[in-house]
Every structure is written in structure tokens, then in C-alpha cells.
Amino acid sequence: MQDDKQNDRGLRMQNVRRIQCWSGPRNISTALMYSWRQRADTTVVDEPLYAHYLSHDDRSHPGVAEVLASQSLDPDEVIRDVILGPCETPVLYVKQMAHHLRGVDRSHLAQTENILLTRDPREMLASLSVQLPNCDLSDTGLVECVDLLDAVLAEGGRPLVIDSQTLLRDPTGVLTMVCEHVGLEFDPAVLSWPSGPKPEDGVWAPHWYDNVHKSTGFAPSQTESREIPAHLHPVLDQAIPLYERLAEYAATERG
């Protein structure tokens, strides 16, 4: 009987298509997670490496105590039990912040489909500075996203980069391309979702998800009117070349 249970667990793990979306903050990554959550064949997970990341960062983050108490601090355990662990649906979608990869064994990436989500740093930093006034380049995830891009290219793979503004303008076209890339059929259900909090939200949601909780679908961003604080201009200068590197491989709108 025990062997049968282990075999069932092994089949569930083997047959699951695992997708990790690597992003920086304020890149509409939560909206994209809500989009995937609308698929009947998909389970979504919200930033399972966040507590590990915060355990090695001595700066103040919103809700840090709650985050540290809510997740395992051991990245190997997270990889084994969450990212590569049992899943009751055919698809597992994991929303990840790319900078949470610091200190994490990346060998598991070969067992998942990996998507990169980016955003013009002029818009991203204007938004991020509201929650993290003293953010720096390490908070943007851009360095790790470029590392992941280069790793895919070095292995002869086809990187898939999503620019958030392109996604907002053409969600059907971009999400169709994503599904083709990962070997799934496009499901129109991903184009809208109910407003409000979701059961999968991390405990940090009250600090970060106010706007996305008001949303019911993809809509043009309103952050262009915000100014980047002057003290973050050096961060912007560092971020732009990294963003431009990712943008070279970004999915384009379909005519």
C-alpha cells in the first residue's frame, strides 16, 4: 500500500508541467498570477522563496516578520516540497521574484519552464519607490533576469521575455505566445479574474496588492505620471541597459 502511494505521488510529480515566471517587483506579476489562476488546469503559488530572501536582507521590508513566519527559510526545502513537489493539477505556475534567487541552487531550473517578465525601469522604479524608498539595483531583479536570459541562450534555448506594457496592450496575443512556448492551449479565461484578495496571496498582500485587488483584468498602467525620486536616478542609469538587454528578446504584439 505504501509503495502504491509513493508511485501515485511520483506520477503526479512527473506529469505536472511546472512554470516559473521570474520577475522584478511592480511588473504586474501578481496580475499575471491571477490570470493563470483562472485556468481550471492550473495551481498557482505566490513567491515561495520570499522568506529565504528576507532572511538574508537586513533592510526593512513591509511585513517582514509575517513573511518570515509564513514560509520555510530553507530554499532546498522550498524547491523540493513546493516547486518540484506534488501538485493536484496538470499545471503548476509559480510567481517568483528573480532577486529571490540569491543563494539558491539553480539546478532545479532545468526541470521547469522559465519565463521572464520585465518592465521599463522608468515606470517600475517610480512604483517601487513608494514601498521601498531606498531601493537599489539589487531590488529590481534585473541582474538575475539577465543572468537567466544568458543561461538559456548559452544552452541554445529559446528565451521567452514578456514586457509588461506589451502584455497590457495585447494580453490575448502575448498569452497565446506564452502558452505556445510552454506547450499549452490558450484559455480565454485568463483574460479576466474577480476583484479582491485571492487564497493564494502571500501574507505580504496587504502591503503590495492594493491596486491589483481592485483589478478584474489587464488594463493600461497609470504609473507613468509618477516621478522617480532624484536619489534613485543612479539606480535608473544602472537598470536601463539591463532592461534593454531583456527587451531584445521580448515577445511582440500580434497584428
Predicted confidence (pLDDT) per residue in 107-120, tens digit: 999 999 999 999 99
Average pLDDT, the chain: 90
The whole-number average pLDDT for the span 22-48 is 97
Q: What is the pLDDT of residue 12?
A: 46
DSSP 36: H
For the chain, the straight-line distance linking the first and the last C-alpha, in angstroms and rounded, comes to 55
Is-above-0.75 flag for pTM?
yes
Predicted confidence (pLDDT) per residue in 155-206, tens digit: 898 899 999 999 999 999 999 999 999 999 999 999 999 999 999 999 999 9
**Band of pLDDT at residue 57, cut at 50, 70 and 90:** confident
User: Residues 36-39: contacts with CB within 8 Å, 24+ apart?
Assistant: 36/93, 36/190, 37/93, 37/193, 37/198, 37/200, 38/187, 38/189, 38/190, 38/192, 38/193, 39/91, 39/187, 39/189, 39/190
Q: In CATH, what class is 2-247?
A: alpha beta
